[in-house]
Amino acid sequence: MKWDGARAVAYRDGDSVRLTGRHDTDYTARFPEVAEALAKVASPLVLDGEIVVMRDGVPSFTALQTRIHRTRPASVRAAATSTPALFVAFDVLHDARPLLAEPYRRRRTILENLDLDHPRLRVPPAWTSVPDAYGWTKEYRLEGVIAKRSDSPYRPGARSRDWVKIKHLKTADVVIGGDARFEAGLAWARVWAKEHGGSLACPARASIGSYPIGTWLSELRAAAQVPVDQPGALASERRAALEEIDPWWCPAWPITWQRAYATARQWWLESDGRVDWAQLPADVVFEGEQLGRWVRAQRADWPGLEASQRDLLAAIGIEEDQELVAAKAAAEAKLKAPRADRFQQGLAALAAFVEREGHAKVPRPHKEPLEIVVTGPGGEESVEVVSVGLGAFLNNTKARRAKLSPGQLAQLAEHGVEWA
């Protein structure tokens, strides 16, 4: 069953106990009450499960969030007393011998026979009937059910067809108007933020539970740009409701920047703040974002960022790199080339934007990171990341479209530019 907790693997070997989460984050010191309970279990043993915090008898993801990012020993101990967690073990991977190849029914039998008698440890019930499991989890207000094939092995790090998630969803046939439509969208916005580190910087085509959350937020961001005394402006109470979920839901800069920042912040949090951004390889990808290239671009584009953007970056340890700033300035000086070259650079930036976002509606202030090859004084070549003012490029190109060649218009139309 789905417990609305944090996935974790518990290792018990000799006198040692270790709890690790996704991306190998070490949770041992953050949940000492769970580690102490596991220390009383016979070893060797490896368990797969979830770290869960209960509130009013049901799992609370919000309560878990108050625990999972604490690292200071005094704060951790206080929270372990006031908001204790428990480890829900739903699979066993090692018990004196490796069990990964054993069928699930065998692993389940071994799990049920383990001596996990402790208030901070739990083995959840299991059923052979999905309707029975679904009914029980609904009665106890759990998130849903995990259905596994009884003959399936354990496949580390892999999503397989041997198991499926079935969530409890509330549905109704309704006619939505004004405030009701906004409240429905707000409810889904809370769900999205909860699953994405508190950020509402979702793509325009994003959906959750079949609700078009990306379109809904895009419409509200457009309304937020309308002066308050003009028709179509976003009501102040609606703006406040969204800011309560994510203060940066509608930033002054492109939402693509905010989405990349939210990803970088998630990486930083899951690494306990121990990230050497200067040494992050350019090819690092995290949660679908080209994180390494994005971080390098911010450190190079520091003087061109808004003050609030620099504050956000500094809060997670990303700082200006003066060498990158100088290299970027030199590279951009080379961009002041013939108009035909600038057109091709703009076209390359547009292609990258369309591939990522799925449309060519580029905000006027948007700058797109673009890799270019720079030749040094000695003839050596290196790849630099520069920011192309894509929104300005499209505006300027549209203004002079009468002077574009048929081939240039065709290239723009190929990437979805409507006026071309």
Which pair of tokens denotes residue 181?
Answer: 């439509």
String of b and e for 216-248 (b: at least 16 CB within 10 Å)?
bbbebbeeeeeeeeeeeebeeebbebbeebbeb
> CA-to-CA distance for 363 and 343, rounded, in angstroms?
18
Q: CA distances (Å), 149 to each of 14, 95, 235, in order?
A: 32, 21, 50
Q: Which of 2, 194, 334, 361 is catalytic?
A: 2
Contact 6, 53 (CB under 8 A): no
**Taking Cα atoms as reference points, which of 97, 117, 118, 122 lies closest to residue 107?**
97
How many of the other CB atoms lie within 10 Å of CB of 381? 8
Write out the two tokens for 227. 């002066």
Q: Is 312 buried (19+), middle (13-18) or exposed (0-12) by CB count in 10 A?
A: buried
Alpha carbons within 13 angstroms on the beta-carbon side of residue 283 total 1
Does the annotation mark 2 as catalytic?
A: yes
Contact between 68 and 115 under an 8 Å Cβ cutoff? The reply is: no
For the annotated catalytic residues, the residue numbers are 2
